[in-house]
A = this chain, B = another copy of it.
Amino acid sequence: MAMSLKQKPVFTGSNTCEIRPMEVYKDHGKVLVAVDCIIFGFDSKALKLLLFKRKVAPLKGHWSLIGAFINNELSLHKAAEKILFETTGLNNIFLEELQTYSKVDRDPGARVISVAFYSLIRLNELDLESVEKYDAHWFDFDQIPPLILDHGQMVQDAILKLRTKAIYNPVVFELLPHEFTIPQLQLIYECIHQKKLDNRNFRKKILAFNFLVKSDKKDKSGSKKGAFLYKFDKEKFKLFVAKGHRFEL
C-alpha cells in the first residue's frame, strides 16, 4: 500500500489512486453524496434566493434548498445542472461549485456529504410553471427563513462567495436580462456591496472598461424618461482580460 498509517483504520486502505476491483474499494468510506443548489436572482429591486417548501413529512412545511442524491451516472456538476433545469426550466446558466459540507452528523438520517452549488439566473427567463410545481418562493437576502439541516450555513457561505466574487468578476450580468440599463446594473452592485454608489463615477468606470454595448432602445419601466439599454459583450471582456487588465468594482 502506498499509505500504511499507524492510527485509526480511516486511511489504512490506500490512497485514492488504488486501481483495483470493487472488493478492494468496498470497505472504505462509502457514503451518500448529495448536491444542493443555491439559486440567486435579481428582481430589479433586490437580490433574491429561491427556496423550496417541503410538501411531505418529515419536516413538512420547512424551507430548504433544492437538492438530490447523486447516482453513478452523472458528475456532480451535471447533476446540479439537471436539478436546475427541472426546477427553473433553465439551461446554460451560471453554475459553480461552492464547497462540500461533510460534518459527520449534519444529516441525522445517514452519513451524507453534500456538495453545494450556487447559480445565478435571470428572473425574466424563469419558467414559472416549473417553479410552482416545486412550491418554490423567492426570498430577500435579509428575510431568509430558518432552513433545514445546515442549509442556512450554505446560504450564508454562498452569499459571501457571491459578494467577493462580484468584486473581481463580472458575474452580475448573469443576473440581469441580456439587455439592461446602467441604473439597474448599479443597483445590483449596491445590493451586493450594501452601499450607495455615486452614479456619475459608476457610469464612468463601467463604461471605461469598454465591454458594454449601447443600444438605441430605452427601457421605461424604471422611470418616465427611460434609460438606454446596454449589452454585456463577453468577447470584449475576454479581450480586456487578455490584454492583462483586471476587472474590479
Binding site for B on A (CB under 8 A): 1-3, 5, 7-11, 13-22, 24-25, 28-36, 52, 54-56, 58-59, 62, 64-77, 79, 82-83, 86, 97, 99-100, 102-104, 107-115, 134, 148-149, 151, 168
Closest to A110 in B: B25
Q: Are A82 and B11 in contact (CB under 8 A)?
A: yes
Tell me if A21 and B109 are in contact (CB < 8 A).
yes
Q: State whether B58 touches A104 (Cβ < 8 A).
A: no
- Are A1 and B68 CB-contacts (below 8 A) given A10-B82, A100-B97? no
Interface contact B104-A72, CB-CB below 8 Å: yes
Contact A69 B2 (CB under 8 A): no
- The answer to whether A17 touches B67 (Cβ under 8 A) is yes
Choose one: B3, B19, B20, B65; the contact of A68 (CB below 8 Å): B3
Chain B neighbourhood of A112, CB < 8 A = 16, 25
Nearest CB on B from A150, distance (A) = 10
Residues of chain B within 8 A (CB-CB) of A33 are 29, 31, 33, 113
- How far is it, in angstroms, between the C-alpha of A30 and the C-alpha of B134 when the chains are bound? 25
Q: Of all chain B residues, which has the CB nearest A135? A: B2
Q: Is the CB of A104 within 8 A of B73?
A: yes
Bound CA span A24–B69, Å: 11
Contacts of A9 in B (CB 8 A): 71
